Amino acid sequence: MAEPAAAQDAPADVRLTLGALAAWLSVLATLVLPPAAGAGVGVVALLSAVLALRRRRRWSAVVALLLGCAGAAALATAVRVAGVDHSPLARLAEQRAGATVELVLSDDPRPLAGGAGPPSVAVAARARQVTAAGRTWSLSDRVLVLAPAEGWSDLLPSQRVRVDGRLMPPTHRDLTVAVLSVRSAPARVESPSAMQTAAGRVRAGLRDAAAVLPDGARGLLPVWWTAT
């Protein structure tokens, strides 16, 4: 049965898209603000959303949606930024302290292009336990690991490892608490989950299939297809 012409000609409702865009922009802005300022922006935006709804104008609902999404995102991000700023891992990174860290990998190791010396990778992870200067902390902070490819490139997300390295502050202002620079292969504490193991086998098969392609065609594939 054909739809009515009026329904076919109705414009697309982009209000949720605008709300998502407002939240995204709010997160980007809050990341560069002190946590207290970000929280203040969030509270003001939420109060303004309530006031907009009380006006009961045609535009009130849209304005309230935009302000509500932006305010909620700002508050949530401010709380997380405060957690990053007050983490013991952040203080150790400022001191560039050497540490023994237990990590749970969050992503596949990514090869780093260029640079002298042996191949290296970057991998996102969560630090679960950190030992430095005779003290041990249990936490769950985002870190970026810079490591040699040997011993790291075959690791999978969800795998738990232990490694010695040096902590450094991140170069970009985001929710990454520290950068961990290591020079050796990690000690493997726990195996990856069954799902990640199966996904790793699929990726390995795709890499083998892509290995026969010329360089130009391989360059069109995601980096984890072609990385070894």
Q: CA 84, CA 175: separation in Å to the nearest integer? A: 7
Q: What is the pLDDT of residues 90-147, one digit of tens each?
A: 999 999 999 999 999 998 899 887 666 788 999 999 999 999 988 999 999 999 999 9
Q: CA 97, CA 176: separation in Å to the nearest integer? A: 17
Q: CA 174, CA 56: separation in Å to the nearest integer? A: 38
User: What does DSSP say about strands 110-111 and 120-132: parallel, antiparallel, or unpaired?
Assistant: antiparallel
Mean pLDDT of 22-50: 91
Q: List the CATH code of the domain at 89-192.
A: 2.40.50.140
Structure tokens given for 65 = 């949606």
| CA terminus-to-terminus distance, the chain | 54
Cα radius of gyration rounded to whole Å, the chain: 23
Q: CA 24, CA 18: separation in Å to the nearest integer? A: 10
Q: What is the pLDDT of residues 142-197, one digit of tens each?
A: 999 999 999 998 898 999 999 999 999 998 878 899 999 999 999 988 766 677 66
Does position 58 have pLDDT exceeding 70, yes or no? yes
Q: CA 208, CA 202: separation in Å to the nearest integer? A: 10
Q: Which of 156, 146, 174 is nearest to 105 (CA)?
A: 156
Give the E-state strand segments of the chain in sequence order: 98-105, 110-111, 120-132, 135-148, 160-168, 178-181, 187-190
Does position 227 have pLDDT exceeding 60, yes or no? no
Residues above pLDDT 90, as percent of the chain = 47
pTM of the model: 0.71
Q: Around 55, how many Cα atoms within 13 Å sit in the side-chain half-sphere? A: 14
pLDDT of residue 1: 47
pLDDT of residue 173: 79
Q: What is the pLDDT of residues 61-90, one digit of tens each?
A: 888 999 999 999 999 999 989 888 889 999
